[in-house]
């Protein structure tokens, strides 16, 4: 180790800025690009899931299939009998009048009601009574024994307390419980199946005895029809009884109303009141017309009278008065007077005033004038007399009209009271007649045995059981079991968030896949699984592939310090770090394996080295670097163990001394492989990754939760770590060869065998 002696003289350099480049390393890369979805899903991916969980799917399928198979060939065969009923919404039109029960108002509600009645407990009890099925073993239940025990215990307690139950009471409790069990079992086997868009309904009964199934279906249908008729008959009978009571009451009301009407007639002389009312009304109308006519005549005569009174002795006006003009006598006297006056005028020219002829004519003129004036006076007196007569007649008719009005009002008052009594009589009589008619119709309807339900097809003895159906059951078990198994597999796979394949490393963690390490089988002898210890060839080749990917991913010249870490414990990070270091050394690279897991170190156990002095001793100054570096059996590989377990590993790794130590080691080694604790457990790996040039992230196959692993990667990214890639460790390639067929096949094993000399 003389070439490493000068490590003890390492002098710390001045502090560097945070952004300064590390020795032999590139600037840290950004956070990994994570894709939460799976791109370009292929049908083969689903096949891989099924293959991966083939044992789960096969177990579930076999359990379902065998369960159905055992059930199919061990269950008791059951037979189903069917009776088809026609349920009309209306009864047959035997009579024209309406029945007591109207059944067609709401057909939907009516049919739903009938279906419920067919499944009623009362109808089931009646059917069981008719067939005597209370003690049938097909309806027995082991729970009856428990009921019987409780019943007997209750009787014993009652007897001890001095309450001796009677036979009927003690039997009633057990019978009630037993009957309830039987009826429940009976209704479980009964099915009411309406036929869509029709008035038909099937009554189906399921039983292990085909004869019982047939008899129950037929008896239940008959009991339903009888119950329907009994219900109608009972309703008609109750309606008839009720109508008879109402008839007696209504008859008494009619008699009371008629007696009150007759008494009123006798007291108020109201026989016949209708005719008298008509006469009074007619007379009132006549008087009203006469008064109107008399008033018109009086007004006419009053106008003539007032006109002639206004004329007075005006002779000229009198001569033009219509009544005078129409008087023949006055006109005749006027003519004679005019003739006499004309003769007087002719004789006056010849004779003197005292001539006898003149005196005679003068006397004749005076006589004619006197008659004329007298006749005019008679005409005026006649007009006055007619006016007064018309006035008197008007007053008389008005008085008669007022009297007739009083009589009509009195008659109206009597008619009101009479009408009330008469209407009471008529309404009572009408109601009585209606009740009497309805009572007769109800009596006839009650005696009429017409039902709206009839049997279309009676149940026949079933020839073949409806359950089990072997072909159908096994077909459903085959397809249903396969479907359920596949669904369960995909559901479990969906719920399983563990990382299982290399593709998921890129998809969920955004890391480059650099290697798949198969799990060692049970045939491994238990020695340390290092690739120089005779491990299986596929195991060794897997680490050679990881080594190759690490070498080619490190394009920078100079030393490379790689942190190997993982999410949690037991993912095999120490084994990966150790084998990677061995592989690099076997490839001719000067390699240093640094055990930075100062909490649970294992590197010294793998290489059978002493734990102290080690890294912790160097960092705290208790040992020299040359004392801590130990050479191994692998050429080109040196190891620094963890040393004494310190109380503050994270602070030691974050110290400037650790960075200087890595830089000084980089001058003598091509690769420095640093084994660190899990990221999610402690922060040591994040601190070490900050000082290293790269990180190899180890993921245990079917061990690590993708969300936890993603959180670990995020922590490393926050520490400015540069990811080289991820290794999927402990992969069961033997058990899931098809699932990992992209990366491992059995035919590849020929290349792992040593070449023959032939």
370 three-state secondary structure: helix
Q: What CATH number is associated with residue 299?
A: 1.10.287
The Cα–Cα gap between 758 and 748 comes to: 21
560-566, strands of its sheet edge to edge: 513-518, 723-731, 694-700, 560-566, 671-675, 591-595, 637-640, 629-631
For residue 26, the model assigns a pLDDT of 38
Q: Same structural domain for residues 482 and 424?
A: no
Q: Find where tokens 């108020």 sit.
A: 268
Question: CA triplet 374, 380, 381: central angle to 5 degrees?
Answer: 85
CB distance 561 to 676 below 8 Å? no
Q: How far is CA 205 from CA 66, 79, 118, 136, 469, in A?
A: 29, 8, 12, 15, 17
Q: Kindly state whether residues 730 and 649 are assigned to the same domain.
A: yes
Q: Are 517 and 539 in contact (CB under 8 A)?
A: yes
Give residue 151's pLDDT: 47
Q: Encoding tokens for residue 611?
A: 């734990």
pLDDT at 179 over 80: yes
The pLDDT of residue 471: 87
The strand order across the sheet containing 200-207 reads 190-194, 200-207, 79-87, 453-457
Cis status of the peptide bond prior to 369, with omega within 30 of 0: no
Asked whether residue 518 falls in the same domain as residue 421, the answer is: no
Closest CA to 186 of 149, 152, 223, 150: 223
Flag whether pLDDT at 586 surpasses 80: yes
pLDDT-wise least confident of 302-316, 364-378, 459-473? 302-316
How many other C-beta atoms can be found within 10 angstroms of the C-beta atom of residue 29?
A: 14
- Both 357 and 327 in one domain: the answer is yes
Lowest mean pLDDT, pick from 30-34, 200-204, 462-466: 30-34
pLDDT confidence bin for 145, thresholds 50/70/90: very low
Rounded CA-CA distance 606/729 in Å is 18
The β-bridge relationship of strands 723-731 and 694-700 is parallel
What is the length of the chain? 758
Say whether pLDDT at 622 is over 50.
yes
519 is a domain residue: yes
The reply to whether 518 and 408 lie within a common domain is no
Q: What is the pLDDT of residue 204?
A: 93
Tell me phi and psi for residue 699, to 5 degrees.
Answer: -125, 125
Structure confidence at residue 215 (pLDDT) = 93
What integer pLDDT is reported at residue 357 of this predicted model?
Answer: 77
Residue 273 and residue 420 in contact, taking contact as beta carbons nearer than 8 Å:
no
Residue 393, φ and ψ in degrees, nearest 5:
-65, -40
Q: How high does pLDDT run on average in the chain?
A: 77
14-42 confidence digits (pLDDT tens): 333 333 333 333 334 445 655 554 455 66
Residue 144: inside a domain, yes or no?
Answer: no
> What pLDDT sits at residue 31?
56
Task: State yes or no: pLDDT of 735 exceeds 80.
Answer: no
Rounded CA gap, 97 and 100, in Å? Answer: 10
29 DSSP 8-state letter: P
Kindly give, in sequence order, each residue whose CB lies less than 8 Å from that of residue 501, ignoring residues fewer than 6 positions away: 48, 701, 728, 739, 740
pLDDT digits (tens, 9 = 90+) for 34-65: 555 445 566 777 777 777 778 888 899 899 98
Q: 410 with 229: CB under 8 angstroms?
A: no
How many CA atoms within 13 Å lie on the side-chain side of 427? 6
Least confident window among 380-394, 620-634, 657-671, 680-694: 380-394
Percent of the chain with pLDDT over 70: 75
pLDDT at res. 696: 92
Same domain membership, residue 383 and residue 431: yes
Verify that 571 and 483 share a domain, yes or no. no
* H or E element in which residue 738 lies: none
Q: Are residues 488 and 552 in the same domain?
A: no
Query: What DSSP assignment string belongs to 493-545?
Result: HHH--B--SHHHIIIII---EEEEEEPP-TTS-SS---TTTT--HHHHHHHHH
- 695 φ, ψ to 5°? -130, 130
- State the Cα–Cα distance between residues 527 and 78, nearest whole angstrom: 65
Residue whose pair of structure tokens reads 């006798």 in the numeric block: 266
CA distance 507 to 280: 115
Given a cut of 80, whether residue 451 has pLDDT beyond it is no
Could you tell me the two tokens for 509? 């963690």
Does residue 133 contact residue 186 with C-beta atoms inside 8 Å? yes
* Separation CA 312–CA 78 (nearest Å): 133
pLDDT above 90: percentage of residues in the chain: 12
DSSP class of residue 208 equals: S
- Mean pLDDT, rounded, for 648-660: 87
In the block, residue with structure tokens 């009371």: 256
Say whether both 417 and 483 belong to one domain: no
Average pLDDT, integer, range 532-547 = 82
Question: How does strand 453-457 pair with strand 79-87?
Answer: antiparallel
Q: Where are the alpha helices (DSSP H) in 189-209?
A: none
291 and 378 assigned to the same domain: yes
User: In terms of DSSP H, where are the helices of 75-120?
Assistant: 107-118
In sequence order, what are the beta bridge partners of 562?
673, 694
580 to 15, 141, 402: CA distances (angstroms)? 32, 72, 141
pLDDT at 63: 93
C-alpha distances (whole Å) from 40 to each of 53, 231, 284, 325, 503 are 22, 72, 111, 136, 12
Tell me: pLDDT of 703 over 90: no
Inter-residue contact 376 to 318 (CB < 8 Å): yes
Higher pLDDT pick, 127 / 744: 127
305 and 375 housed in the same domain: yes
Question: What confidence score (pLDDT) does residue 427 get?
Answer: 77
Let me know the angle formed at the C-alpha of 588 by 584 and 594, rounded to the nearest 5 degrees: 40
**The residue to which tokens 């479907």 are assigned:** 483
Which residues partner with 592 through β-bridges?
638, 672
Estimate to the nearest angstrom the gap between the alpha carbon of 535 and the chain centroid: 65
For residue 692, is it within any domain?
A: yes
Domain of 390? 274-447
pLDDT tens-digit map of 79-96: 999 999 998 876 554 444
CA distance 279 to 274: 9
Instruction: Let me know: does 190 contact 80? Beta carbons within 8 Å.
Output: no
**Separation of alpha carbons 270 and 262, rounded Å:** 9
Is it the case that residue 487 has pLDDT exceeding 90? no
* Within a domain: 682: yes
Closest listed residue to residue 235, CA positions, set 17, 448, 505? 448
Average pLDDT of the segment spanning 313-339: 70
Classify burial at 267, counting beta carbons within 10 Å of its beta carbon; exposed 0-12, middle 13-18, buried 19 or more. Answer: exposed
Residue 235 lies in a domain: no
Please give the Cα distance from 119 to 117 (Å, whole number): 5
Band the pLDDT of 205: cuts 50, 70, 90: very high
Q: What is the C-alpha to C-alpha distance for residues 666 and 532, in angstroms, rounded to an integer? A: 25
More confident residue, 335 or 600: 600
pLDDT of residue 168: 37
Query: 276-287 burial, b if ≥16 CB within 10 A, otherwise e?
Result: bbeebeeebeeb
Q: At residue 155, does pLDDT exceed 90?
A: no
579 vs 593: CA distance, rounded Å:
10
What is the arithmetic mean of pLDDT over 387-391? 80
pLDDT at residue 170 in the model: 38
pLDDT at 233: 72
Give residue for tokens 């000068």.
6
Query: Quick check: helix, strand or coil at residue 301?
Result: helix
Question: How many domains are contained in the chain?
Answer: 3
Rounded Cα distance, 163 and 154, in Å: 11
Report the alpha-carbon distance of residue 704 to residue 698 in Å, rounded: 10
Confidence band, pLDDT 50/70/90 cuts, at residue 191 = very high
Q: Is 632 helix (H, G, I), strand (E, B) or coil?
A: coil
Do residues 589 and 721 share a domain? Answer: yes
- CA distances from residue 533 to 217, 525, 574, 672 in whole angstroms, order as listed: 82, 11, 16, 22
Cβ neighbour number for residue 68 with a 10 Å cutoff: 20
Question: 23 lies in a domain?
Answer: no
Looking up residue 587, the CATH number of its domain turns out to be 3.40.50.300
Residue 130: pLDDT above 80?
A: yes
Is the residue at 434 inside a domain?
yes
Tell me, yes or no, whether 621 lies in a domain.
yes
At 724 the three-state DSSP class reads: strand
Please measure the distance between the N-terminal and C-terminal CA atoms of the chain and give it in whole angstroms. Answer: 43
Residue 517 structure tokens: 């390490």
């Amino acid at each position: 180790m003389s070439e490493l002696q000068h490590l003890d003289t390492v002098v710390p350099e001045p502090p560097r800025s945070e952004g300064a480049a590390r020795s032999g390393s590139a600037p840290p890369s950004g956070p990994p690009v994570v894709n939460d979805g799976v791109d370009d899903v292929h049908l083969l991916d689903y096949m891989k899931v099924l293959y991966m969980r083939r044992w789960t799917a096969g177990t579930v399928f076999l359990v379902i299939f065998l369960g159905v198979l055992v059930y199919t060939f061990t269950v008791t065969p059951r037979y189903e009998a069917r009776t088809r009923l026609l349920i009309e919404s209306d009864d047959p039109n035997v009579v024209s009048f309406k029945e007591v029960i109207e059944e067609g108002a709401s057909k939907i509600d009516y049919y739903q009601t009938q279906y419920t009645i067919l499944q009623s407990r009362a109808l089931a009890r009646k059917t069981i009574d008719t067939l005597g099925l209370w003690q049938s073993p097909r309806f027995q239940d082991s729970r009856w024994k428990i009921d019987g025990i409780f019943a007997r215990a209750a009787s014993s307690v009652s007897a001890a307390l001095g309450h001796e139950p009677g036979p009927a009471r003690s039997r009633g409790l057990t019978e009630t419980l037993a009957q309830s069990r039987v009826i429940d079992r009976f209704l479980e086997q009964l099915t009411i199946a309406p036929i869509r868009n029709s008035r038909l309904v099937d009554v189906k009964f399921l039983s292990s005895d085909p004869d019982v199934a047939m008899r129950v279906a037929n008896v239940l249908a008959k009991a339903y029809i009888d119950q329907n008729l009994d219900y109608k008959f009972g309703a008609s009978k109750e309606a008839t009884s009720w109508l008879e009571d109402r008839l007696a009451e209504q008859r008494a009301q009619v008699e009371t109303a008629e007696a009150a009407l007759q008494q009123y007639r006798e007291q108020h002389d109201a026989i016949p009141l209708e005719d008298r009312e008509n006469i009074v009304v007619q007379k009132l109308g006549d008087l009203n017309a006469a008064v109107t006519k008399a008033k018109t005549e009086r007004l006419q005569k009053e106008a003539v009278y007032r006109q002639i009174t206004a004329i007075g002795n005006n002779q000229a006006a009198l001569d033009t008065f219509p009544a005078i003009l129409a008087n023949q006598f006055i006109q005749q006297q006027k003519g004679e007077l005019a003739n006499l006056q004309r003769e007087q005028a002719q004789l006056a020219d010849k004779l003197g005033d005292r001539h006898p002829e003149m005196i005679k004519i003068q006397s004749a003129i005076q006589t004619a004038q006197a008659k004329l004036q007298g006749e005019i006076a008679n005409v005026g007196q006649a007009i006055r007399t007619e006016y007064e007569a018309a006035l008197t007649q008007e007053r008389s008719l008005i008085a008669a009209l007022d009297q007739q009005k009083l009589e009509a009002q009195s008659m109206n008052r009597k008619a009101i009271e009479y009408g009330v009594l008469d209407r009471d009589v008529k309404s009572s009589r009408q109601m009585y007649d209606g009740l009497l008619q309805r009572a007769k119709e109800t009596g006839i309807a009650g005696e009429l045995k017409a039902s709206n339900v009839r049997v279309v097809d009676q149940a026949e003895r079933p020839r073949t059981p409806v359950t089990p159906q072997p072909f159908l059951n096994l077909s459903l078990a085959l397809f249903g079991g396969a479907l359920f198994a596949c669904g369960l597999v995909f559901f479990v796979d969906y719920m399983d968030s563990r990382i299982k394949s290399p593709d998921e490393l890129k998809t969920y963690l955004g890391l480059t896949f650099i290697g798949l390490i198969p799990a060692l089988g049970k045939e491994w002898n238990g020695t340390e699984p290092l690739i120089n210890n005779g491990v299986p060839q596929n195991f060794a080749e897997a680490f050679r592939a990881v080594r190759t990917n690490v070498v080619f991913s490190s394009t920078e010249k100079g030393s490379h310090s790689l942190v190997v870490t993982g999410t949690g414990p037991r993912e095999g990070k120490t084994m990966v770090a150790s084998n990677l270091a061995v592989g690099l050394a076997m490839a001719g690279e000067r390699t240093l394996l640094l055990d930075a897991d100062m909490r649970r170190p294992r590197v010294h156990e793998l290489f059978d080295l002493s734990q102290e002095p080690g890294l912790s001793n160097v960092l705290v100054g208790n040992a020299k670097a040359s004392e801590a570096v130990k050479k191994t059996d692998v050429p080109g590989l040196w190891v620094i163990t963890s040393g004494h377990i310190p109380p503050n590993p994270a602070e030691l790794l974050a110290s400037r001394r650790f960075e200087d130590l890595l830089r000084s080691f980089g001058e003598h080694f091509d690769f420095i492989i640093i084994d660190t604790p899990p990221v999610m457990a402690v922060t040591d790996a994040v601190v070490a990754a900050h000082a290293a040039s790269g990180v190899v992230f180890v993921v245990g196959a079917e061990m690590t939760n993708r969300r936890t692993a993603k959180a670990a990667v995020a922590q490393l990214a926050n520490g400015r770590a540069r990811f080289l890639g991820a290794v999927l460790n402990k992969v069961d390639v033997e058990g899931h060869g098809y699932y990992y067929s992209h990366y491992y096949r059995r035919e590849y094993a020929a290349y792992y065998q040593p070449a023959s000399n032939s």
